[in-house]
Amino acid sequence: MNIRHANIRKIAAALSAAALAGTAFAVNPIVTHKYSADPNAFVWKDRLYVVCSHDLDGQKGFEMNDYVLMSTDDLVNWTDHGDVFTGGKDVKWCWNLYAPGAAVKDGKVYLYYPNSGGPIGVAVADRPEGPYTDPLGKHLIGREMPGCDSCWVFDPAAFVDDDGKAYLYFGGNGDTMARAVRLNDDMVSAQFPGIMMKASKDGGEATVMPYFFEASYMHKHNGKYYFSYSANFPDRGASIDYAIGDSPLGPFVWKGAILPNWAENSWNNNHHSIVDFRGKTYIVYHSRILSNRQGHNNVFERSVCIDELKYNDDGTIAKVVPTHEGPRQLKPLDPYKANRAVTICQDEKVKVKMADVSKNNTSVVVASDDGAWVRYAGFAFGAAPESVSALCRAKGPAVVEVRKGAVDGPLAATIALSDTKGEFRKFSAAVSGIGAETCDLYFVFVKSAAGTEFASYRFAR
């Protein structure tokens, strides 16, 4: 995807200036070289992962065939792990993958997926990156099952309670259509009938889930259960609403909107998840912010964003104000270790692909054209570096410029590449103009760099 809209350069310059001043922020959306949607966030080994639907460039409808995975440990630089689950390949009976759900239990990752509007299947892996296997060879939940016959059997969201009991939430198309089932301990079978989720507006009798449309999610805070969802278009404008209860199956009391709809979302559908990470709570959601920046204004090109979520003293949730900046960086990058090139804050004119790097199939950055760049935010140097090395595969002579603070900022290093004959090779260059400081760096690909593949880099002192 080529991002040429001038706004992205202005945003990059402004946020880089903030980083140089000691206040590093992310950039919403979290990934700018591809479209992503329907994020389900979870924590694995002190790292935040988000599995998403994958919108294609220029698509005219919801035609998603694979799930993409991103992760971070600082909320600013996100690793693109590539496509981790594909319909028709990793699962034979399902081909159009709508919004995913994910949960971690007993050292395994469980991925719940619908085939378009249903039914819902489950896949299992030993780590978030996969590979995922389909243990059932068929769906887990379908409309033929008791309590599931009238709703859309899609938008699964898994929740594992503190006592180890697990639940799967799903459904759509009306305020009586929110459903839940109790998952068995194996996480790949369930107890029926499906249970209708209900909430009252005023603390009285709960009969429906007010304004419910789709995108169920469950999280827990201070012993209370928070059921959240995308509200219907006519009444709530696709806001993310929520209700609070004393058990994972309710009943609940409806509390209103967490995340109102906003112009950058083109007033269209939304999908979210809520996750605790390193002492704070975050809401991960999608918008049309990237498509709008490009001038496409395509509601089927969605992008995942993240912002902090806060609670009021009474346990209700303060309304989230969606931002362009996202949350502050939690920790700086270490320039003196090997860093993956696909752990990115922001980029332009690049894509990510899987490649064989040192006999390891992994994701790498690919420059689409001269002028392609990748921004890495918040390096803490501590001492002036003397050199930088980059592991690249090049088709011929090309140059990677390392620039400080902006795409056209001061030149810190010039890494000259040569034809690597189809292999990845390490290239090095001297560094100047960087001291014992914290700053952003841009790796800019120039001089016949189209097709150059970039796997990793490292500074030395």
> Which residues touch 330 (CB under 8 Å, ≥6 apart)?
73, 74, 75, 76, 278
Q: What order of strands is seen across the sheet that includes strand 438-446?
A: 346-348, 372-380, 438-446, 398-404, 411-417
The encoded tokens of residue 146 equal 């008791």
Q: Is the peptide bond before 193 cis (omega within 30 degrees of 0)?
A: yes
DSSP string, 399-412: EEEEEESSTTS-EE
Q: Given the residues 38, 129, 134, 175, select the one marked as catalytic.
A: 38
295-301 own/partner pairs: CB under 8 Å, 24+ apart: 295/5, 296/58, 297/266, 298/58, 298/59, 299/266, 299/268, 300/55, 300/59, 300/60, 300/61, 300/62, 301/35, 301/55, 301/57, 301/58, 301/59
Dist. CA 246–CA 220, nearest whole Å: 10
CB 268 within 8 A of CB 299: yes
Q: Given the residues 66, 129, 134, 214, select the one marked as catalytic.
A: 214
Q: Measured between alpha carbons, how far apart are the two ends of the chain, in Å?
A: 35
Count helices and strands (H / E) in the chain. 3, 31
Nearest to 262 by CA among 218, 324, 209, 171: 324
Q: Which residue type, as a one-letter code, is found at position 290?
A: L
Catalytic residue check, 356: no
Dist. CA 350–CA 453, nearest whole Å: 10
β partners of residue 119:
none
Phi, then psi, of 201 in degrees rounded to 5 = -85, -30
Catalytic residue check, 144: no
To the nearest 10°, the Cα dihedral for 39, 165, 173, 68?
20
Dist. CA 190–CA 204, nearest whole Å: 30
The encoded tokens of residue 177 equal 């259509």
- Residues marked as catalytic: 38, 214
